[in-house]
Chains A and B, each alone.
Chain A
Amino acid sequence: MELSLFWTSIYIVILAAFTGYVVISRVPVILHTPLMSGSNFIHGIVLIGAMVALGLATTTGQQIIGFIAVVLGAANVTGGYVITERILQMFDSSRKKPGKGD
């Protein structure tokens, strides 16, 4: 890694960390669980990295590990999404007439 790329990376990391901090800094307690689940979904972006790792793999060993990584990453994405969606669905129902439940 070149030196300039190193410093660029530091800039990116600092700004991203600050963004993460600011975005959720005033979250009410009731949203802690959905937000934890939601951010669990966001780091499912690991899937695209796993896809590239498997896609560029050359040896069998790399392919096996890459395959497992894609399986795990894909489960993180779909599971994280469904869980978050289900939790947040309940907040929605409070604004409708009770009993209608979907």
Chain B
Amino acid sequence: MVDLSFLIDPVYIATIIIFIIGLQRMSHPLTARSGIVWAGAAMLIATLVTFLTPELTNFALIAIAIVIGGGLGYIAAKRVAMTDMPQMVAIYNGMGGGAAAGIAAVHLLGTTTPATSTLAVIGGLIGAVSFSGSMIAFMKLQGWMRPRPITFPGQQVVNMAVLGLAALSGILLLWQPAFLPLSFSTYLPLFFILSLAFGILMTLPIGGADMPVVISMYNAFTGLAVGLDGFSFATPNYAMVIAGIIVGAAGTLLTVLMARAMNRSIANILFGAFGATEETTAEIQGSIKSIEAEDVAAMLAYANSVVIVPGYGMAVAQAQQKVKELMDQLESRNVTVKFAIHPVAGRMPGHMNVLLAEAGISYDHLFDRDEINQEFPGTDVVLVIGANDVVNPAAHREGSPLFGMPILDVEQARNVIVLKRGQGRGFSGIENDLFYRDNTRMLYGDAKETLGELVQAVKRL
């Protein structure tokens, strides 16, 4: 066979350049889609050229593994509903972390130099934490686990102890001191078990609403693990190093930006056990009052200004098309309709923008929190569609677990209508004061059906 391995480095270099261009294009709305297509093409070529690596064996095994993993990944990603995207990002990210940990393990089992094995240990630790942590995040978002924070006394001490032991077993693995009776075959599994345990423990106390930030953090972790792993090869794999470190840095910045959008610090998210403290509902004054669709339709049709606040409930019910119909009906009656988009409405930043864009609602109708908050006192009707925590005035009350989170101040509007499936609480698990306000009325039912009724009722008026 002709030795074509000279192709590997030029192709890897081209791959890196295209990845960077792709990421840059993904940072702008108009070019975003072409960015991922570019990156995808580069990844395909890099994978093919890797088969030319000198002395590579086990070709059949590699091909089978790619078909299994790639096939399952592809089918699952195609089938999943748009609302389940956040947990899918989590699970695929975890798999990347698991692959990084696996590479580290293979290298530690083979011949290494002190430098490559040290980097394999660090990469393995971070990859394993990202793997188990992402899996917990996935299970919480998927509803296989309670999304609320799981806490116990002395949690941080236990977590730090487990991390310390994982690091210690990693050091012993490299050092293998003669004065200890244990051997390499004990240290290696111990090291990975402790690393995986730390990932689980670290994610347990984090509440559902903070999950996107945590997934973004694990995304950065996986990038870093991949980058360090790149150095653990006998000949460094610079494509892995550069792509991994780029994701590590970009992911870290993204994590900070997302945390900032929620007005929280990373430390607070990781150690604050958001929403863990149970509040008594006794503090809340007033009662919950429900309303019928006909009455809401009249309120909307004869209003001057209406602000719609979409949330996860709209996403679940796939109600965005009905929202668009309602908007068209109201606009034909000269009602000003605006959308208030909270940065973390839904399960991820930008979730609502994507869904509303899908329904054909143009960007100039969408306003972010800072733009719209001052307009609420002059608004006739606010229609909250399946949003909860992002409109909870408890965020202004000291002592509430939500305290300090920037919210949409919808309670200042003249009338607030809350479309809701039932009387459940929001993702944070905290009771919503808004529902008890005098100017709030609840419209119960599936968002899509209820909106359909509203559209028909407005038409009849």
The reply to whether B324 and A98 contact each other, CB–CB distance below 8 Å, is: yes
Give 20 A-B pairs besides A40-B93, A85-B40 with Cβ atoms closer than 8 angstroms.
Answer: A20-B248, A24-B250, A29-B350, A33-B348, A34-B36, A35-B26, A36-B219, A37-B89, A40-B247, A49-B103, A50-B102, A51-B50, A53-B107, A54-B58, A56-B57, A66-B61, A78-B69, A78-B77, A79-B77, A81-B77
- Give B contacts to A, CB under 8 Å: 15, 19-20, 22-24, 26-29, 32-33, 35-37, 39-40, 43, 46-47, 50-51, 53, 55-59, 61-62, 64-74, 76-78, 80, 82, 85-86, 88-89, 91-93, 95-96, 98-103, 105-107, 109-110, 113, 115-116, 212, 215-216, 219, 222-223, 226-227, 229-231, 233, 236-251, 253-254, 257-258, 261, 324, 343, 348-351, 353-355, 357-360, 362-363, 368
Residues of B within 8 A of A81 (CB): 36, 39-40, 43, 77
A57 to B92, CA, bound (A): 25
A90 to B93, CA, bound (A): 22
Instruction: Output the least CB separation between A102 and chain B (Å).
Output: 11
Which residue of A17, A23, A50, A53 is within 8 Å of B24 (Cβ)? Answer: A23
The reply to whether B253 and A21 contact each other, CB–CB distance below 8 Å, is: yes
**Interface membership of A4, Cβ < 8 A:** no
Residues of B within 8 A of A23 (CB): 20, 23-24, 27, 246, 250
The reply to whether A63 and B58 contact each other, CB–CB distance below 8 Å, is: yes
From residue 68 to 102 of chain A, which have CB atoms closer than 8 A to chain B?
A: 68-94, 97-99, 101
A30 to B89, CA, bound (A): 16
Known contacts A23-B23, A46-B100; A52 and B53 CB within 8 A of each other: yes
A-B contact pairs, 11 of them (CB 8 A): A32-B258, A36-B89, A45-B43, A47-B66, A55-B62, A56-B55, A66-B58, A70-B62, A71-B68, A72-B99, A74-B73
Residues of B within 8 A of A19 (CB): 20, 246, 249
Residues of A within 8 A of B78 (CB): 82
The reply to whether B115 and A1 contact each other, CB–CB distance below 8 Å, is: yes
Rank and list the top 8 A-B pairs by shortest CB-CB distance, nearest first.
A98-B360, A69-B102, A20-B249, A74-B69, A75-B73, A79-B73, A82-B77, A70-B65
Residues of A within 8 A of B92 (CB): 40, 44, 75-76, 79-80, 83
Instruction: Output the least CB separation between A2 and chain B (Å).
Output: 9
Known contacts A33-B349, A42-B39, A43-B222; A76 and B96 CB within 8 A of each other: yes
Residues of B within 8 A of A75 (CB): 69-70, 72-73, 92, 95
Residues of A within 8 A of B24 (CB): 23
Residues of B within 8 A of A52 (CB): 50, 53, 56, 233, 237
Known contacts A9-B236, A23-B27; A72 and B96 CB within 8 A of each other: yes
The reply to whether B29 and A70 contact each other, CB–CB distance below 8 Å, is: no
A34 to B246, CA, bound (A): 16
**How many residues of chain A are within 8 Å of chain B by beta carbon?**
86
Which residue of A20, A41, A65, A76 is within 8 Å of B246 (Cβ)? Answer: A20
The reply to whether A51 and B70 contact each other, CB–CB distance below 8 Å, is: no
A37 to B80, CA, bound (A): 15
A17 to B223, CA, bound (A): 11
Which chain A residue has the least Cβ–Cβ distance from B76? A79
